[in-house]
């Protein structure tokens, strides 16, 4: 296992404007680290710089204890899985898996044993004599992964490896890749634009936007305490609801654009003055108002409804903004209905209206499983 450290890394193609700016991060040995962000944010470029396929314009890259800025890719002691699989069509599955070992002059007996062990791990044993054209997309992806694993490199880079697969297969391969990474204990750096992949696979996530770091942290930390409105809306499905509002610490309230006041718990406005703020709340904290609710309740006009079987997702007008709520179960709601909605005020985020900085965190909501034998 090896660490990877980026110190003040930047990238420019014209020596004038950086497409990646001042990246500082340390990826720990054995960590599953995910780079996530929208298309064009610089995540694949960063991965290619680590691999040695792109020149580093500024800063220092360390792999293990060695400065790697000028090291050729072959000496960086890492493997890479590409988005398009990059398999040799004229070679069998076995020859594709062992191609890198052949180049490194690994003895034939060892090549065969390592290929067989890796194929068994990935369920490819029955396909070793086939050509890539005879395989499904998921099987080809496994061959590409096997080729990376068989090298026994302590670091594996993956560039959107699941984007060509259907939804069901992506879910299966997510858990498969995560299991293999834990089993082998390798350091994995994984690029994706899919926030579901980032949330379900990463030990830590780095969110990029326009070549700059927005936030680094564990998936649940980022979900619960987004650093700014961009992170809040990028992580989470449906995304966090946002609205420009007016803070009134005197009444301990925020007032939505339509004039709807929401009273917040005591102490919520510590360090926050009167004036414009951005209010944020996750869809699951907008709840059915039944009986005498202990939370603030407002009546909202429904604009769209999606019944997904296990849950119902619907949009409604909150002041002048359209928000989304997510309720468990199947609800008989129609567009145009006006329904009472309770808002969990402790789960509200407040962001600075100008800088976007998180000023008020929501209350912690993590649950724990009771110990076996504990009283219920």
Look at residue 80 and tell me whether its pLDDT is greater than 80. yes
Domain with CATH 2.40.50.140 in the chain: 238-360
d(CA 314, CA 54): 45
Residue 145 belongs to what H/E stretch? Answer: helix 137-150
Out of 138-142, 202-206, 227-231, 289-293, pick the least confident: 289-293
pLDDT-based confidence at 14, cuts 50/70/90? confident
Q: How confident is the model at residue 1 (pLDDT cuts 50, 70, 90)?
A: confident
Is the distance from CB of 36 to CB of 193 less than 8 angstroms?
yes
Residue 108's Cβ-count burial label (10 Å; 0-12, 13-18, 19+) is exposed
Per-residue pLDDT band for 84 (boundaries 50, 70, 90) equals confident
pLDDT confidence of residue 298: 81
CA 67 – CA 57 distance, rounded (Å):
14
| Nearest to 246, CA basis, from 268, 278, 270 | 278
Q: Which residues are bridge partners to 81 per DSSP?
A: 158
The number of beta carbons lying within 10 Å of the beta carbon of residue 376 is 3
Q: Phi and psi for 199 in degrees, rounded to 5?
A: -65, -40
Q: What angle do CA 128, 125, 148 make, to 5 degrees?
A: 75
In this predicted structure, what is the pLDDT of residue 292? Answer: 55
Q: In terms of DSSP bridges, do strands 241-248 and 18-27 run parallel, antiparallel, or are they unpaired?
A: unpaired
CATH of domain 238-360: 2.40.50.140
Over residues 206-211, the mean pLDDT reads 95
Task: Answer whether the bond into residue 238 is a cis peptide, omega within 30°.
Answer: yes
Count the Cβ atoms, other than its own, within 10 Å of residue 223: 19
Candidate CATH numbers 3.40.50.300, 2.60.120.280, 3.40.50.2300, 3.30.565.10; the one for domain 4-224: 3.40.50.300
pLDDT for position 167: 82
From-to residues of CATH 3.40.50.300 in the chain: 4-224
Name residues whose C-beta falls within 8 Å of residue 10's C-beta, 6 or more positions apart in sequence: 18, 20, 21, 22, 23, 56, 57, 58, 59
The 10s digit of each residue's pLDDT in 164-192 is 778 888 888 888 889 889 988 999 999 99
Residues 47-71, mean pLDDT to the nearest whole number: 95
Average pLDDT along the chain: 90
Q: Phi first, then psi: what are they for 60, rounded to 5°?
A: -130, 135
Give the mean pLDDT of 97-105. 88
pLDDT of 284 > 60? The answer is yes
Supply the pLDDT for residue 173.
84
The β-bridge relationship of strands 358-360 and 286-288 is unpaired
Question: For the chain, what's the residue count?
Answer: 376
Percent of the chain with pLDDT over 70: 96
Residue 365 has pLDDT above 70, yes or no: no
Question: How would residue 293 be classed by pLDDT, with cut points 50, 70 and 90?
Answer: low
pLDDT digits (tens, 9 = 90+) for 232-269: 999 998 999 999 999 988 888 888 877 778 888 878 88
* Contacts of residue 129, Cβ cutoff 8 Å, sequence gap at least 6: 92, 93, 94
130 or 300: which leads in pLDDT = 130
Cα separation, 67 vs 205, whole angstroms: 24
* pTM, full prediction: 0.89
Separation CA 58–CA 64 (nearest Å): 19
Q: Which residues of 41-64 are buried (b: 16+ CB within 10 A; e: fewer)?
A: bbbbbbbbbbbbebebeebebbbb
Between 289 and 221, the more confident residue is 221
Start-end of H helices in 156-247: 167-184, 195-201, 219-224, 229-234
Which of these ranges, 33-37, 54-58, 81-85, 330-334, has the smallest mean pLDDT?
Answer: 81-85
């Amino acid at each position: 296992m090896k660490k990877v450290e980026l110190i003040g890394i930047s990238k420019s193609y014209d020596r004038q404007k950086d497409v990646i700016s001042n990246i500082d991060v340390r990826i720990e040995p054995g960590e599953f680290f995910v780079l996530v962000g929208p298309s064009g944010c610089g995540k694949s470029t960063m991965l290619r710089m680590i691999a040695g396929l792109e020149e580093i314009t500024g800063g220092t890259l360390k792999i293990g204890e060695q400065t790697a800025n000028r090291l050729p890719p072959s000496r960086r002691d890492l493997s890479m899985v590409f988005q398009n699989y990059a398999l040799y069509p004229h070679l069998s599955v076995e020859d594709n898996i062992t191609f890198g070992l052949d180049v490194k002059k690994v003895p034939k007996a060892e090549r065969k044993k390592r290929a067989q062990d890796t194929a068994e791990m990935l369920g490819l044993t029955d396909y070793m004599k086939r050509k890539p054209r005879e395989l499904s997309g998921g099987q080809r992806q496994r061959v590409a992964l096997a080729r990376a694993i068989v090298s026994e490199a302590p670091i594996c880079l993956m560039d959107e490896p699941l984007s060509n697969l259907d939804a069901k297969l992506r879910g299966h391969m997510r858990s498969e890749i995560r299991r293999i990474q834990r089993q082998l204990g390798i350091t994995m750096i994984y690029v994706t634009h899919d926030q579901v992949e980032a949330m379900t696979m990463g030990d830590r996530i780095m969110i990029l936007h326009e070549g700059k770091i927005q936030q680094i942290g564990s998936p649940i930390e980022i979900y619960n305490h987004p650093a700014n409105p961009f992170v809040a809306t990028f992580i989470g499905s449906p995304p966090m609801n946002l609205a420009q509002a007016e803070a009134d610490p005197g009444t301990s309230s925020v007032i939505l654009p339509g004039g709807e006041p929401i009273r917040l718990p005591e102490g919520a406005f510590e360090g926050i003055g009167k004036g414009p703020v951005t209010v944020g709340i996750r869809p699951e904290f907008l709840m059915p108002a039944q009986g005498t609710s202990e939370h603030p309740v407002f009546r909202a006009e429904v604009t769209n409804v999606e019944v997904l079987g296990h849950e119902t997702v619907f949009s409604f007008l909150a002041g002048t903004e359209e928000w989304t709520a997510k309720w468990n179960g199947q609800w008989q709601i129609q567009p145009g209905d006006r329904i009472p909605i309770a808002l969990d005020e402790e789960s509200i985020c407040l962001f600075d209206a100008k800088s976007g900085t998180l000023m008020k965190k929501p209350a912690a909501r993590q649950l724990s499983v009771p110990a076996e034998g504990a009283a219920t």
